[in-house]
């Protein structure tokens, strides 16, 4: 881990902001050319387009400083953003819709970039963590904590994974289900809790000594940006 990345956990890094802005500028220009899109017309002038670029770069860096575990990054933060931020952004919003960017898009982009996002009680992070039961003759071979959401239409619980839209209006807020995993690999639902720490606490009561991470970090599976 290099000092440049560590410093971004304290204050926004101007180099990272510049890298994001440059990457988004280049990607937007390239895509506009491919689609015969007049960016000046979209934003009533290129000066407003540049203001949107800088707003997004500043907002994403501020968000990342609150939610990303930089200690788990192998890449230099500013280099990673220069290489990939524009493409990740383009997968979330088109270059004609920069003004629509908000904090919810920060999470979508972070997932595209496969950044280590720290679990908190605010972001809808999909979590799936398992821990082996410490008792050899246990009914379950392991315990598992998964994020779950209820359908707004019928209130049915549905697992929430990294393949799902984090801010899908058809579902309620995520909560945490505790499951036992049998020898055949099938899951048996034990209970639901509102927070991850509450689910871990219940797991400890069921199986004293079971070991779950105290603060899990979510990294999306690899997929094309």
Question: Which of 212, 216, 206, 213 is CA-nearest to residue 140?
Answer: 206
Give CA torsion, residues 38, 44, 49, 52, to 10 deg: -140
| pTM (predicted TM-score) | 0.85
Six-digit token pair at 63?
A: 């968000």
* The pLDDT value given to residue 225: 62
Residue-wise pLDDT tens digits, 182-207 = 888 899 999 999 999 999 999 999 88
* The pLDDT value given to residue 131: 93
Q: What angle do CA 18, 22, 54 make, to 5 degrees?
A: 60
Alpha helices in 11-154 (DSSP H): 14-34, 39-42, 46-67, 77-90, 103-112
Question: Which of 91, 18, 21, 93 is CA-nearest to residue 52?
Answer: 21
Residue-wise pLDDT tens digits, 123-162 = 999 999 999 987 777 788 899 999 999 999 998 999 998 8
Residue-wise pLDDT tens digits, 67-123 = 999 999 989 999 999 999 999 999 999 999 999 999 999 999 999 999 999 998 889
**Domains in the chain: boundaries:** 3-117, 128-218
How far is Cα 188 from Cα 221, in angstroms, rounded to an integer? 25
* The pLDDT value given to residue 8: 38
How far is Cα 86 from Cα 64, in angstroms, rounded to an integer? 16
Q: What does DSSP assign to residue 197? A: H
* The pLDDT value given to residue 200: 95
Q: What percent of the chain has pLDDT over 90?
A: 75
Residue whose pair of structure tokens reads 């690999």 in the numeric block: 185
- Residue 215 main-chain phi, psi, to 5 deg: -140, 85
How far is Cα 17 from Cα 4, in angstroms, rounded to an integer? 13
């Amino acid at each position: 881990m290099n000092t440049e990345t560590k410093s971004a956990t304290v204050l926004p890094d101007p180099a990272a902001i510049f890298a994001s802005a440059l990457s988004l500028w280049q990607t937007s220009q390239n895509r506009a050319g491919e689609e015969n899109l007049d960016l000046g017309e979209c934003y009533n002038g290129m000066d407003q387009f540049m203001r949107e670029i800088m707003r997004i770069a500043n907002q994403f860096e501020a968000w990342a400083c609150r939610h990303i575990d930089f200690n788990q990054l192998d890449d230099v933060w500013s280099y990673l953003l220069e290489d990939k931020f524009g493409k990740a952004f383009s997968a979330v919003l088109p270059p004609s819709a920069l003004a629509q960017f908000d904090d919810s898009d920060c999470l979508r982009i972070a997932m595209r970039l496969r950044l280590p996002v720290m679990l908190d009680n605010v972001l809808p992070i999909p979590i799936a963590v398992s821990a082996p039961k410490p008792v050899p003759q246990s009914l379950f071979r392991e315990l598992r904590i998964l994020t779950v959401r209820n359908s707004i239409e019928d209130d049915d619980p549905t697992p929430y994974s990294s393949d799902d839209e984090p801010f899908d209006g058809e579902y309620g807020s995520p909560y945490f289900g505790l499951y036992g995993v049998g020898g055949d690999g099938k899951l048996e639902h034990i209970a639901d809790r509102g927070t991850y720490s509450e689910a871990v606490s219940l797991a400890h009561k069921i199986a004293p000594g079971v070991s779950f991470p105290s603060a899990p970090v979510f990294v999306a599976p690899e997929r094309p940006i």
